[in-house]
Structure 1
Amino acid sequence: MTKAKVTILDIARMAGVSKATVSRYLNGHYEKMSAQTKEKIKQVIADSHYHVNRQAQSITKKQTFIIGIIVADIENIFSSMLFKGADQVFENVHYQIMLMNSDNSQQRERQQLERLLDLRVDGIILQPISQHAEDYQFLADTHVPTVIVDRKLTPERWPAVVTDNYQYSKMLMDYILRLGYQRIVVVSEPVAANFPRQDRYRAVQDTCQRQSVPTSLIEIQPATTDDELYRQLLQVTHDLQDKAAIYALKGTLLMRIVRILARYQIAVPSEMGVAAFDDWDWATLTSPQITTIQQNPKVMGQQAAERLLEVLAGKEPPMLTSVESEFVVRQSLTK
């Protein structure tokens, strides 16, 4: 004889609560629910092996219970941690995540967004390629709840979760200049490509200009070799005669720079200072360890997910949420 499936009504009876309370629990609405009631329902569901039929729910409520997340570069550790943070939030409210990669291509990003819209996702978290809100008018026209993460759009159109790249970069520059460095060498992928790099580089320019310290920018292209980068470093520092500090605007570039300096036996920090804006703990794997501004992409993912849930609940979250980073002083800079 086939065993009858457990229903929401059965769960309610076993837990001694109303059907509406169980429904609120299953949909992640715990606001007016005591911890004792929440734990009781959780235990009854576990003991009875109850399984939520999301397909049936999506038909009844006209929801898919799917959230789309599009990141610019899925190979970047930032994207992995961002996804992990968002996943921890959505898992608790029974949403599934569809992770997509735009591969730093605006054309591919458009294709991925259209695919998510065709799948009728309930919401989207987007790390945008373009800086211009007008490039996403097609998305705005659908009225699908959307949250921007890591980068800003001009003008603001959706809630955004970001790092204050300018202020943290300025904090790092103030520290480096107090140590008496005579030149700052910024190493970055093309700065104009996104707002975080622009803000970080602008802070360098503003801070150094006020103190009459020269700056050099080395922009890394896909074809830039290690030998070419080494030659550029020698050129802008006058064959290491200047007391110079390298500022890498990205953690993956930091590791490349450390490798090049080690290969050509340039001692850190006695011959060259090094600092970076880092997404992960790369800087702790070197000797000496590197002074960094440490982002927290996991928290950014969590905050983006929470902002999106607020929109889905009909609330109006703040248009800008700034996630704190950490300024970590290590041994890669010296007086």
Structure 2
Amino acid sequence: MAKDVTIQDVANQVGVSKTTVSRYLNGRFGNMSFETRQQIKTVIEELNYRPNRQAQSLKTKKSHLLGLMVADIENSYSGYWIKAMQETLADTDYQLMIMTSNNSEEQELDNIRKLLDQNIDGMMLQPVTMDAENYRFLYESNLPVVLIDRTIKANYWPTIQSNNFQMTKQLGLEIVDKGYERLVHVSEPIQDVSPRLERYDAMKLIAHEYQLELITLEAVSNRNIVEEYVDQFDAANKRTAFFGANGTMLTQIIKALRKRQLSYPEDCGICGYDDMTIGEVLMPTLTAISQRPELIGKRSTEVLLEMIKGNETNENIDIPSTLHRRESL
């Protein structure tokens, strides 16, 4: 059986001390010359040396593991920022442990505890509720945490998310400019999930300021509430615009209108958040807000790594989205 390559083997071949190689592996270059760093890098690659992370963890008290708790891993939107996180960590010593709560508070709590049992160095969390009490134990653990995509009702940790309220308000003004009289807001259950609440509050404000009739449809299990509404929808009554608060809801609206053989923008208008970039390929094309999940994932990872280094922050970062004005309104 081939002998495992050790850190001493690397040091011997480069002609430096084991301590110098260890400093290189931990990113502590100090007065280390560029030439020495390149020599160590080359020998590590030639010998296919893999550091013993368990041994390193015992010495440094760090696991080099980061936890990621996703509310719904089946959502394609989440996949974009997971990919960006992994790319951001590619040139570091950190690995990502991904778990999902399936939008369940009980499962989220259980999985957070499992991640803590792995001695993770930090966590990125997409919370399933805004209730801060659910996360008090995590806050009291002093673990570096970054909230991603959603926030909670406490200033525990920094939040990296889209500028939901501002962009939804901008889209609401577009609906007003197009002369619509009724706004149908279609969302998953709004209460206690911050992006849904921010988007709803923005549309509610626009409806109030410009005297639009506001209809709120919240998706429920085992019932297609969008289809039920469209089945009795009278296109001749009031000029109506449908707003899908995320990509899933936008898709449900399109399916329901097609089943009823209603056309947009002739019979009604459609717009919303397009998580899957379908808006630019459908005909007619969709007026929609595109988020930047890859940048959300990248910035969340960068902020967490800074927190692990001891650079504490509670700053919330809004990642600008883009409103694409197309043919559906």
TM-score, normalisation: structure 1: 0.89
Aligned to 1:119: 118
Stretch of structure 1 that moved more, 36-45 or 321-330: 36-45
Write out per-residue CA displacement over residues 182-225 of structure 1, whole angstroms, 9 at most, x where no aligned residue.
11111111111401011101111112211112211111111222
2:268 paired residue among 266, 272, 276: 272
The corresponding residue for 1:233 is: 230
* Structure 1: gaps of 5 or more residues: none
The within-5 A match list for 1:56-205 is 56-205=55-204
**Alignment partner of 1:136: what SS?**
helix
Native 8 Å contact 2:186 2:243 kept in 1? yes
- Give the letter aligned to residue 316 of structure 1: E
Does residue 51 of structure 2 align to residue 55 of structure 1?
no
For 1:280, the aligned partner's letter is M
Find out whether 1:300 has 2:296 as its counterpart: yes
Encode CA deviations 1:99-158: one digit per residue, 9 max, x unaligned.
111011111111011111122111111101121222211111211111111111112101
1 CA distance for matches of 2:246 and 2:278?
10
8 A Cα contact 2:265 2:327, kept in partner: yes
Measured in 1, the distance between the counterparts of 2:36 and 2:175 equals: 54
SS state of the match for residue 281, structure 1?
coil
Q: Paired residues, what number?
A: 329
Partner of 1:5: 5
Question: Partner letter of residue 265 of structure 2?
Answer: P
Q: Which AA in structure 1 matches 2:221?
A: P
Give the drift of 1:322: 1.4
In structure 1, the partner of 2:313 is 317
Q: 1:69 Cα deviation (Å)?
A: 0.5
| Residue equivalent to 1:328 | 324
Work out the CA distance in 1 between the residues paired with 2:122 and 2:207: 42
Equivalent position to 1:286, from 282, 288, 311: 282
In structure 2, distance between residues paired with 1:51 and 1:43:
13
| Aligned CA distance change for structure 1 residues 47 and 182 (closer, same or farther; 3 Å) | same
Quick one: structure 1 residues 24 and 251, their matched pair in 2 at CA, closer, same or farther if it must change by over 3 Å?
A: farther
1:148/1:317 CA distance change after superposition, 3 Å: same
Give the drift of 1:3.
Answer: 5.6
Name the TM-score, length of structure 2 as normaliser: 0.91
Match of 1:253 in 2: 249
Match of 2:239 in 1: 243
Q: Residue type of the partner of 1:5?
A: V
What's the CA shift for 1:33?
Answer: 8.2
SS in 1 for 2:317: strand
| Contact 1:67–1:95 (8 Å) recurs in 2 | yes
CA offset digits 1:249-295 (Å, max 9, x no partner)? 01011112112212221111111111111223132342222111111
Identity of aligned residues (%): 34
Distance in structure 1 (CA, Å) of the matches to 2:31 and 2:297: 26
Q: 1:115 to 1:181 in 2, by over 3 A?
A: same
- Give yes or no for contact 2:274–2:288 (8 Å, CA) kept in 1: yes
Equivalent-residue separation in structure 2 for 1:162 and 1:29 (angstroms): 32
Say which SS state the counterpart of residue 68 (structure 1) adopts.
Answer: strand
Note if contact 2:169-2:202 (Cα within 8 Å) is conserved in structure 1: yes
Q: Deviation string for 1:281-329 (max 9, x for gaps)?
A: 1323422221111111121111111111011101123521111211112
Cα pair 1:28 1:94 within 8 Å, conserved:
no
- CA contact 1:245–1:275 (8 Å) conserved in 2: yes
Q: Which residue is equivalent to 1:222?
A: 221
Contact 1:275 1:292 (C-alpha < 8 Å) held by counterparts:
yes
1:206–1:73 CA distance, 2 compared to 1 (3 A): same
- Distance of 2:31 and 2:237 partners within structure 1: 66
Structure 1 residues 275 and 4: CA distance shift in structure 2, 3 A:
closer
Distance (Å, rounded) in 2 between the aligned partners of 1:311 and 1:119: 19
CA contact (8 A) 2:11 2:21 kept: yes
Whether the 8 Å contact between 1:66 and 1:122 is mirrored in structure 2 is yes
Say what the alpha-carbon RMSD is for the aligned residues: 2.6
**Contiguous gaps of at least 5 residues in structure 2:** none
